Amino acid sequence: MTHPTGRLSDVVHQRHRLGILAIADEAARVEFTYLHEVLELTRGNLNRHLAVLEEAGLIVLEKGYDGRRPKTWIVITDEGRAALSAELTALEELIRRHGGRPHR
């Protein structure tokens, strides 16, 4: 049986990418500027994390306009929801294993 840490995804587990997926899972779609502000990332850094998630098939980027302003929305895919769920399950198992133990 694999230890829960062996089930953590290198793509998902990075804290900003985990944040992107968690926020995107909470809404039908999330706007780029919102993620930029909430996660306190530079636009370039956020773009890089989005590219990694998009390349993995975990999100889709939708480009459009709000009036005359160009906007980018992030939508989590079914694969992204499954990856987020698997990540959270592994983290929950770690918490169960270590939650009741005294810290050294």
Angle (nearest 5°) at CA 7 between 1 and 53? 160
Confidence of residue 91 (pLDDT cuts 50, 70, 90): very high
22-26-27-28 Cα dihedral, nearest 10 degrees: 80
Task: Report DSSP letters for 10-67, one per residue.
Answer: HHHHSHHHHHHHHHHHTSS-EEHHHHHHHTT--HHHHHHHHHHHHHTTSEEEEEEEET
Confidence of residue 6 (pLDDT cuts 50, 70, 90): confident
- In the sheet that holds 30-31, the strands lie side by side as 30-31, 69-76, 59-66
**pLDDT(100) > 80:** no
Q: Pick the more confident residue, 44 or 7.
A: 44
Tokens of 92: 């929950």
Domains of the chain and any CATH numbers = 4-92 (1.10.10.10)
- Per residue in 24-66, pLDDT tens? 999 999 999 999 999 999 999 999 999 999 999 999 999 999 8
Q: How far apart are the C-alpha atoms of 88 and 74, rounded to whole Å?
A: 20
pTM across the whole model: 0.89
| 3-state SS class at 101 | coil
* Predicted pLDDT of residue 87: 94
